[in-house]
Amino acid sequence: MPTPLGIDVSPRAIEIAQRKAAERGVDTTFKVLDAMRLDTLGESFDTILDSGLFHVFDDDARTRYVTAVHAVLRPDGHLHLMCFSDRQPGDWGPRRVSEGELRAAFGSGWRIDSVTPNRFDINPGPGTPTAEAWLADIVRLAPR
């Protein structure tokens, strides 16, 4: 089984992830990389996990992100995506994503197997240590 790879655009986030992996005895490789540049890895994947990235993009960047993931996810591979939900009350925190927006972003070339309500554990913010989220299982379709 290949060694899992974690990426983040923030060197500090990568340092923290490396430390936590070492403390937990997890064999993982980490790289500082912009998710829009996944194709520069020269690799493809059966599974991609997105925990809290999709919701930070505006509409144009979302399109580029979906294209970047499609380029490196093998046909029949799964993208497991968790993003902030429009079900979250208030206006603090990241941009909210509706289920419709999530489904619309993954049109041609994708199959959405599920979108279910979930919750993010977050650093305590105004009023609550959790936030409403969507958890989606999205499959890259094989070319026809």
- CATH number for the domain spanning 104: value is 3.40.50.150
Alpha-carbon gap, residue 5 to 72, rounded angstroms: 13
| Total of domains in the chain | 2
Are 28 and 41 in the same domain? no
- pLDDT tens figures, 25-63: 999 999 999 999 999 999 999 999 999 999 999 999 999
pLDDT value, residue 58: 92
Q: Which two tokens stand for residue 44?
A: 């493809």
Alpha-carbon gap, residue 64 to 22, rounded angstroms: 33
Q: Which residues contact 119 (CB under 8 A, 6 or more apart)?
A: 130, 131, 132, 133
Are 19 and 79 in the same domain? no
pLDDT value, residue 126: 61
Burial of 99 from C-beta contacts in 10 A (0-12 / 13-18 / 19+): middle
- pLDDT tens figures, 76-87: 999 999 999 999
- pLDDT tens figures, 109-144: 999 999 999 998 776 556 667 889 999 999 999 987
Alpha-carbon gap, residue 134 to 86, rounded angstroms: 9
Phi, psi of 113 (to 5 degrees): -80, -35
- pLDDT tens figures, 24-35: 999 999 999 999
User: What is the DSSP annotation of 61-100?
Assistant: HHHHHHHHHHHHEEEEEEEEEEEEBTTS-SS-SSPPB-HH
Alpha-carbon torsion, ordered 17, 51, 69, 3, to 10 deg:
40
pLDDT value, residue 85: 95
Q: What is the mean pLDDT of residues 65-85?
A: 97
Are 24 and 68 in the same domain? no
Are 47 and 97 in the same domain? yes
Are 19 and 80 in the same domain? no
Are 6 and 75 in the same domain? no
Are 67 and 4 in the same domain? no
Are 28 and 60 in the same domain? no
Are 42 and 17 in the same domain? no
pLDDT value, residue 122: 75
pTM score of the predicted model: 0.90
Residue 134 domain boundaries:
37-140
